[in-house]
A and B are shown apart, each in its own frame.
Chain A
């Protein structure tokens, strides 16, 4: 079965601390991987994506993620968070053969930054 799991529904961290948001997927086919951010009352914005090549992907706002094929993971990291990073973060996967831009999303992780 093809699925996406975000292990943490909520992650509270202090400002300027590092953060890692976890994402694992299950698939028998190759995948493309994405992280989206959703600020309150807004649509989703693409943070970064992995299609091929280097397994370490850098995105906007200082975020990066690393694709680990053996562990079927695509964890999102930021070395030092800011209050403005408070948002909901979604991992998404496009499974090869699914077609078009049909994405399977994880349940989301709510990142709360405390001063």
Chain B
């Protein structure tokens, strides 16, 4: 019974390249969340998706960042034309529902380093 799987664990990109981060939620979970953790800071909410729908993207930067959760396959967080300030740990989480009693399961994160 696998938990939330994120890959790659580490991703190195040069400025201007694209970064694609993948997240496979716990089997049966239809709610996916992306959080970003900058050095020495807590996690910051980025986006909440359900299958094929973006529900809340209030934490996403207005440009260069996009997310999707297709009907089949993992959720993808895409960062175009990366800059050094994008260097951070990106965590994905999933839950089976939205009730307060629903547990949120976190992946181990993708560490993005922009050179």
Contact = CB atoms under 8 A, between A and B. Distances in A.
Q: Do A and B bind each other?
A: yes
Interface of A: 4, 6, 9, 32, 36, 41-46, 51, 90, 92, 94, 99-108
B56 A105 contact: no
Given A43-B106, A90-B43, A101-B98, 9 more contacts: A6-B42, A43-B4, A43-B6, A51-B100, A99-B55, A100-B33, A103-B104, A105-B43, A107-B41
Contact of B45 (A32, A41, A104): A104
A99 B91 contact: no
Contacts of B31: 100-101
Given A99-B56, A102-B33, A102-B48, A108 B91 contact: no
Interface of B: 4, 6, 31, 33, 35, 40-45, 48, 55-56, 91, 93, 95, 98, 100-104, 106-109
B100 A44 contact: no
Nearest to B111: A41
A100 B56 contact: yes
Contacts of A90: 42-43
A42 B108 contact: yes
Contacts of B40: 9, 107
B108 A94 contact: no
18 contacts: A9-B40, A32-B100, A41-B108, A43-B106, A43-B107, A44-B43, A45-B106, A51-B100, A99-B48, A99-B55, A100-B55, A100-B98, A101-B31, A101-B95, A101-B104, A102-B45, A103-B45, A105-B43
